[in-house]
Amino acid sequence: MCTHAARTDIRSIDLRSVTALDTVGAWLLERLARGGATRAALTGADGPYGDLLEEVRGLNRSGSAERRSDNPLLQRLDQLGRGSRRLASDSAAFLHMLGAVSTALLGILRRPPSFRLTSTVYQLGRVGWQAVPIMVLITFLIGAIIAQQGIFHFRRFGAESYVVDMVGILVLREIGVLIVAIMVAGRSGSAYTAEIGAMRMREEIDALSTMGLDPVAVLILPRVLALVVALPILAFLGSLAALYGGGLIAWLYGGMSPAIFIARLHDAVSVTHFEVGIIKAPFMALVIGLVAAVEGLSVKGSAESLGQQTTASVVKSIFLVIVLDGLFAVFFASIGL
């Protein structure tokens, strides 16, 4: 279509030989007709096309929809401002959830029969028991990889035997619990957010509230408690698997017999290393559970929103887990552990 060619010259458009016309075609013709100083006449269209042209004639009269293009710098600043406000409201929502869960927990301490044991045990099975194989496999591989890299690089200095120290301390203090926490955030945190979000969309949470029940006590507390119990256990099993993987590689690849590995491990690590690692697990579990609950409850009506909140839940909880790990590292360093 040459809509720009000699616009002002068009007086009338003959449509007699048009055999097919859709809304877009009709609009382009209408635009062409409007374009000149005087309106061009559209002639020769008959039957349904005449009606379509007549209909189109009345459309888009209120000026074309203006595409607003703001100053890009202002847009950046706008985004930055919105982001900071969101950060503030996210933190508030997180603290609010912490308060709500603590209140629900206090309610149970006051009235123990109201504890939802069935629900908690069921969740524990899902996030704990069922997660064991994958957690053990992943941490086993991580332990093996650390040992292999250690042996490969330490060999140049003839310091292969220090691999045991590295694997032992790294796994027990940091990697074991961190890997497991990240896996749990991806595996169970996302599931929590999606479940709670879907319940929100289907008004199930509203239904609970109208029955006079507290959704936090019914849905969220059992899930958070299950995570707080499961994560230390998973971190313990994961650390064992990582040490096992490291020992296996030290034997097969580094030629260090298991007896020597165990003896060196005994010298290299102390219970303190293990304690420093495992003490972090319940806190990480709490963060994962609370973030998942907050994101799940903020799901709006759409499917897209459910996806967004689930992604946000995983990203935020992994971020917070790593930040928490850093804070613990600073804390332990300052008290000399």
Q: Tell me which residues touch another protein (CB under 8 A).
A: 198-199, 202-204, 206-207, 209-213
Smallest gap, in angstroms, from Cβ of residue 195 to another protein?
A: 9
Residue with Cβ nearer another protein (90 or 204): 204
Residue with Cβ nearer another protein (310 or 317): 310
**Backbone dihedral angles phi then psi of residue 19, each to the nearest 5 degrees:** -105, -25
Smallest gap, in angstroms, from Cβ of residue 110 to another protein?
A: 15
| H-helix or E-strand spanning residue 12 | strand 12-14
Cα atoms found within 13 Å of the Cα of residue 81, Cβ hemisphere only = 6
Residues 255, 257, 262, 264: what is their CA dihedral angle, to the nearest 10 degrees? Answer: -60
Residue with Cβ nearer another protein (178 or 306): 306
Residue with Cβ nearer another protein (54 or 206): 206
| H-helix or E-strand spanning residue 13 | strand 12-14
Smallest gap, in angstroms, from Cβ of residue 197 to another protein?
A: 12
Residue with Cβ nearer another protein (139 or 188): 188
Positions of E strands within 149-195: none
Smallest gap, in angstroms, from Cβ of residue 198 to another protein?
A: 7
Q: Tokens 């296996």 identify what position?
A: 248
Residue with Cβ nearer another protein (57 or 126): 126
Smallest gap, in angstroms, from Cβ of residue 199 to another protein?
A: 7
Residues 84, 86, 87, 89: what is their CA dihedral angle, to the nearest 10 degrees? Answer: 130
The closest of 274, 278, 250, 253 to 264, measured between CA atoms, is: 250
Smallest gap, in angstroms, from Cβ of residue 31 to another protein?
A: 34
As a whole number of angstroms, the distance between CA 176 and CA 146 comes to 12
Estimate the share of the chain in helix, then strand, then coil, as percent rounded to the nearest 5. Answer: 80, 0, 20
